[in-house]
């Protein structure tokens, strides 16, 4: 691959991710609205939200680290998108791989944590403490899944993983080969997103207690952008690992949206988990399912 086309891909991949991510946000909000018998927001609402937040007159910053936190949060995901192969584009997926991606995805969280910490609001710090605890919770099943997939396909290169599934057809997909790991992965993915019923560490409903407490204006806008990327990344990663990756854009997008839509619809039915309960849940069921899946896989 020549450098020029690679550069084009590197620019395009985050852009596509952003647009798709906006649509995903819209979809999630629509689903929530439908479940609550509401109409839901209009099509461009996510974009309008971002624009509105950026355009606010009062923009309060608590210092450079506060700003840089947002920069890291957004920038980290932009980098992550270039490591996720999509139909027709692989970016630098061959130079990183699954483990690198998993760790690059932690950089935005760290950025956010730094930004919140600088705000000197104890409620924000409590939110970060919860968020990191939650990360410890959902990462355990997540890494079991990563291990299983990488071991199964004999590589941690996402391109190889996707290609192997596509070559073997649906029977060769991760989800058919390792259903238990796929199930565990779904749990972990959902925990990672911080949506109902695991949203306590984001605490979107309680402004005063949570990481977002000092976020407003551009900071909030940046986090909104990050959320788009986050949804996209999680969905696409799952599709790549278990659902054969993207043969073409149509099936790829359909699978990605489905990955989000199905569990979100189910999860809305559950009440919110406390942090400790989240940890307990994640370390119990998905971890056990994942380990069982590994046991099947390795014998």
Partner 1 sequence: MTPLDTLYLASAATLAAMLVLGDWRRAGVLATLMYGVQLALLFTMQRTGSTSFDLSALGFELSWRFDALSWFFAVVTLGTAFFASWYGAGEWLRAYTGRRRLFQSALAANVFAMLLLLGSGDLLTLFVGWEATSWAGFLLMALAGGLARDAALRYLVYAMAGAMALLGALVVLFQAGGSFSYEAARATLAAMAPGPLWALIILFGLGFGAKLALLPLHLWQAAAYSETPAPGSVFLGGVVGRMGLFALALVLVGLIGIPHLQALAVPFTFLTAQDVVAWVAALTVVLPTYTALKQNDARYLLAWHGIGQGGYMLLGLIVGSALGSAGGLLHVINYAATQATLLMVVFGVRHRVGHTDLNRLGGLVARMPLSFLALLLGIISLAGLPPMSGFVSKWMVYSSLIQDGRPFLFLAAIVGTLGTILSVYKLIHNLFLGQLRAEHEQLNEAPLSMLIPMLATATLAFVTGVAPGLVLGWVADAQAAIGLPVIDYTLGGIASPRASLDMLWVVGVMFAGFGVGALLFYGAGGKTHRVHQLDNYAGGHFLDAGMRYHYSDNFYAGLMHLIGGWYRGSFHWLEGAIGSGLSLVAQGAGGWYRAINPAFYLLAASVALIAWVAL
Judged by CB under 8 A, which of 27, 32, 47, 65 binds partner 1? Answer: 65
Subset of residues 125 to 144 that bind partner 1, contact rule: CB under 8 A: 125-126, 128-130, 132-133, 135-136, 139-140, 143-144
Subset of residues 208 to 227 that bind partner 1, contact rule: CB under 8 A: 208, 213, 217-218, 221-222, 225
Decide if 55 contacts 220 (C-beta within 8 A).
no
- Token pair belonging to 57: 């007159």
Judged by CB under 8 A, which of 60, 204, 247, 258 binds partner 1? Answer: 60
Decide if 70 contacts 108 (C-beta within 8 A).
no
Decide if 150 contacts 174 (C-beta within 8 A).
no
Subset of residues 223 to 262 that bind partner 1, contact rule: CB under 8 A: 225
The site for partner 1, by CB under 8 A, has a size of 87
Decide if 124 contacts 116 (C-beta within 8 A).
yes
Segment lying near partner 1 (by CB under 8 A), choices 19-27, 121-129, 164-172, 264-272: 121-129
- Burial class, 49, CB count within 10 angstroms (exposed 0-12 / middle 13-18 / buried 19+): middle
- Burial class, 186, CB count within 10 angstroms (exposed 0-12 / middle 13-18 / buried 19+): buried
Please say which residue, 160 or 177, places its beta carbon nearer to partner 1: 160
Identify the CA nearest to 155 among candidates 94, 243, 242: 94
**Closest approach of partner 1 to the CB of residue 108, in Å:** 9
Identify the CA nearest to 291 among candidates 210, 181, 204: 181
**Closest approach of partner 1 to the CB of residue 130, in Å:** 6
Q: Does 176 bind partner 1 (CB under 8 A)?
A: no
Judged by CB under 8 A, which of 160, 177, 196, 256 binds partner 1? Answer: 160
């Amino acid at each position: 691959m020549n450098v020029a086309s690679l550069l084009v891909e590197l620019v395009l991949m985050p852009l596509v991710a952003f647009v798709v991510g906006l649509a995903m946000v819209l979809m999630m909000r629509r689903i929530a609205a439908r479940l609550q018998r509401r109409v839901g927001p209009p099509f461009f609402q996510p974009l309008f939200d971002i624009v509105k937040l950026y355009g606010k007159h009062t923009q309060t910053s608590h210092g450079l680290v506060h700003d840089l936190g947002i920069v890291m949060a957004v920038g980290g995901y932009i980098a992550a998108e270039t490591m996720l192969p999509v139909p027709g584009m692989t970016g630098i997926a061959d130079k990183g791989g699954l483990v690198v991606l998993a760790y690059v995805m932690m950089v935005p969280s760290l950025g956010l944590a730094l930004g919140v910490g600088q705000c000197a609001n104890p409620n924000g710090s409590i939110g970060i403490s919860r968020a990191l605890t939650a990360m410890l919770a959902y990462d355990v099943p997540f890494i079991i899944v990563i291990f299983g997939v990488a071991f199964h396909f004999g590589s941690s290169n996402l391109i190889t993983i996707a290609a192997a599934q596509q070559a073997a057809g649906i029977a060769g997909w991760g989800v058919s080969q390792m259903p238990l790991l796929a199930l565990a992965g779904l749990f972990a993915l959902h925990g990672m997103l911080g949506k109902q019923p695991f949203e306590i560490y984001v605490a979107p409903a309680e402004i005063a207690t949570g990481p977002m407490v000092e976020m407003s204006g551009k900071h909030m806008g940046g986090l909104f952008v990050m959320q788009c990327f986050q949804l996209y990344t999680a969905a696409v990663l799952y599709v790549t690992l278990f659902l054969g990756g993207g043969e073409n854009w149509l099936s790829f997008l359909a699978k990605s949206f489905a990955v989000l839509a199905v569990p979100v619809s189910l999860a809305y039915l559950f009440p919110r988990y406390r942090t400790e309960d989240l940890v307990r849940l994640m370390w119990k069921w998905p971890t056990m399912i994942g380990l069982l899946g590994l046991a099947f896989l390795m014998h």
